Amino acid sequence: MTEGKLLGIDHGLKRIGLAVCDPLRITARELTIIERKSRQEDFDRINAIARAEAVVGFIVGLPNNEAPPGAHTQADTVRLWVERFFQTTDLPIRLWDEQLSSEDAQALARLKRRKLADPIDDLAARIILQSYIDALHGGLTEEL
């Protein structure tokens, strides 16, 4: 199995949650929340964090929401963002189903005794990344 830290990303319209895993890809932990500014500033900040954490790839949560045929979905927005982000990095990017990550992040926030008004984007990123590495160790997905 390939080793190296991965950066989990929960993309949002107002904030971007980030999480990182250990080099053996066993456990993810929340890292930070970026308040959205401009696309380029956001990409620069994510790439700077990736360098500082010595990550070898990105796992980006992909919403799985239904929409009428022809309607623009949140998943479309994330895919477009990833296409643009890909232009700013040499590291591989994997889209990963983020189904139920918000609900799980809310439950985790309660366990961590976070205030209801506090953002949980970093916790959602942690859950997305942990889901990926669990699937990886279970043989349910390929290496990044």
Task: Report the C-alpha gap between 24 and 71 in whole angstroms.
Answer: 40
Which tens digits make up the pLDDT trace of 60-75? 999 987 666 677 788 9
Residue 92: give the domain boundaries.
5-137
pLDDT at 52: 98
Residue 70 or residue 137, greater confidence:
137
Could you tell me if 8 and 132 are in contact, meaning their C-beta atoms sit under 8 angstroms apart? yes
Considering the domain boundaries, does residue 142 fall inside one?
Answer: no
Considering the domain boundaries, does residue 144 fall inside one?
Answer: no
Structural domain total, the chain: 1
Considering the domain boundaries, does residue 93 fall inside one?
Answer: yes
The whole-model pTM stands at: 0.88
CATH number, residue 104: 3.30.420.140
Written as six digits, the tokens of 41 are 């500033």
Which tens digits make up the pLDDT trace of 73-127? 889 999 999 999 999 999 999 999 987 666 766 666 666 666 666 777 898 999 9
Compute CA distances 117 → 9, 22, 54, whole Å.
21, 29, 32
Considering the domain boundaries, does residue 143 fall inside one?
Answer: no
